[in-house]
């Protein structure tokens, strides 16, 4: 089945293609579709639904959308839904000109903000988690939603960043039980435990069961 992925992020397309090998994953730019909906939601779920519905209105075919980000406990869950454009606490939605800063700068901001919060005595741990809210949108009255997390912690300093795999905050997201950052995992290892991997497997199982039942009732 051909599934449209509501993103312009090639890294997400690669990961989702690995998770849905039996389906053809297409992103809007593959077909010259201008797609940049305004994400006005206050939660991961709301933003994933906005993207899914917006693309479905254009293609009228199954759409997979996710909204994901990193949530630091010492920052009360920030940067959260603003992870992709995080520019420090004063600019959660990105720089004043709307531009995204380089990822390494975002990583530095996050580490420093957590360090400052711990130094203030408000929090003692560097724990954090990735969240992924995923929507499979097959029509206005037919959609599936799941949300999953991957638990870990943020390294103490940018010099502790490791790994060339993954993307985003992966080099500074440490997994104590594995002794590695998310960026040091192979694609197979990451997909097995990641927020997006778990959400993808669950939503695929739900959708396949639904389609099977629908076929029986046809």
Instruction: Please report, in range form, the residues annotated as the binding site for substrate.
Output: 7-12, 68, 167-170, 190, 195-196
pLDDT at 170: 97
Is residue 26 pLDDT above 70, yes or no?
yes
Residue 44 neighbours by CB under 8 Å, 6+ apart? 67, 68, 69, 80, 81, 131, 132, 133, 147
Q: What does the domain layout of the chain look like in residue ranges?
A: 2-217
Instruction: Please report, in range form, the residues annotated as the binding site.
Output: 7-12, 38, 67-68, 167-170, 190, 195-196
Instruction: Please report, in range form, the residues annotated as the binding site for Mg(2+).
Output: 38, 67
Is residue 215 pLDDT above 60, yes or no?
no
pLDDT-based confidence at 174, cuts 50/70/90? very high
The helix/strand/coil state of 39 is coil
Average pLDDT over residues 209-215: 61
Burial class of residue 32 in the structure, from the number of CB atoms within 10 Å of its CB (0-12 exposed, 13-18 middle, 19+ buried):
exposed
Candidates 3.30.70.260, 3.40.50.300, 3.40.47.10, 3.90.950.10; CATH matching 2-217 = 3.90.950.10
Residue 83 — φ and ψ, nearest 5°? -55, -40
pLDDT at 88: 74
Average pLDDT over residues 94-118: 86
pLDDT at 217: 54
* Percent of the chain whose predicted confidence (pLDDT) is above 70: 92
Is residue 37 pLDDT above 60, yes or no?
yes
Q: How many CB atoms lie within 10 A of CB 119?
A: 9
Positions marked active-site: 67
pLDDT-based confidence at 121, cuts 50/70/90? confident
Average pLDDT over residues 133-157: 95
Q: What is the CA radius of gyration of the chain?
A: 18
The answer to whether the beta carbons of residues 127 and 117 sit under 8 Å apart is no
**Residue listed under structure tokens 């530095």:** 108
The pair of three-digit structure tokens given for residue 216, joined into one six-digit string: 């029986």
- Calculate the alpha carbon distances from 183 to 25, 110, 170 in Å: 23, 17, 5
186-203 pLDDT tens trace: 999 999 999 999 999 999
Average pLDDT over residues 8-23: 88
63-96 pLDDT tens trace: 999 999 999 999 999 999 999 888 877 766 666 6
pLDDT-based confidence at 218, cuts 50/70/90? very low
Instruction: Identify any residues that bridge with 137 across adjacent strands, giving them in sequence order.
Output: 63, 143
The answer to whether the beta carbons of residues 196 and 19 sit under 8 Å apart is yes
Say which DSSP state 203 is in. Answer: H
Does the predicted model carry a pTM greater than 0.95? no
pLDDT-based confidence at 140, cuts 50/70/90? confident
C-alpha–C-alpha distance, residues 158 and 151, integer Å: 19
pLDDT at 212: 59
Sheet hosting strand 180-181, strand order edge to edge = 24-26, 2-5, 63-72, 127-137, 143-154, 173-175, 180-181
C-alpha–C-alpha distance, residues 28 and 154, integer Å: 33
Average pLDDT of the chain, as a whole number = 90
């Amino acid at each position: 089945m051909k599934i449209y992925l509501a993103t312009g992020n090639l890294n997400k397309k690669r990961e989702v293609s690995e998770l849905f090998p039996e389906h053809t994953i297409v992103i809007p730019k593959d077909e010259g579709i201008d797609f940049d909906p305004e994400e006005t939601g206050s939660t991961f779920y709301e933003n994933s639904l906005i993207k899914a519905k917006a693309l479905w209105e254009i293609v009228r075919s199954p759409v997979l959308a996710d909204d994901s980000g990193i949530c630091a406990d010492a920052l009360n869950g920030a940067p959260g839904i603003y992870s992709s454009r995080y520019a420090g606490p004063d600019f959660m939605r990105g720089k004043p000109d709307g531009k995204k800063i380089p990822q390494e700068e975002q990583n530095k901001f996050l580490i420093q903000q957590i360090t400052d919060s711990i130094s203030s005595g408000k929090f003692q741990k560097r724990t954090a988690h990735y969240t992924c809210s995923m929507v499979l949108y097959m029509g206005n009255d037919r959609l599936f939603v799941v949300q999953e997390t991957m638990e870990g912690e943020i390294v103490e300093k940018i010099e502790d960043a490791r790994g060339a795999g993954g993307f985003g905050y992966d080099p500074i997201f440490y997994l104590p039980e594995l002794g590695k950052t998310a960026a040091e995992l192979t694609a197979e290892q990451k997909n097995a435990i990641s927020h997006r991997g778990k959400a993808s497997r669950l939503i695929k199982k739900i959708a396949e069961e639904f389609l099977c039942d629908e076929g029986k009732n046809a």
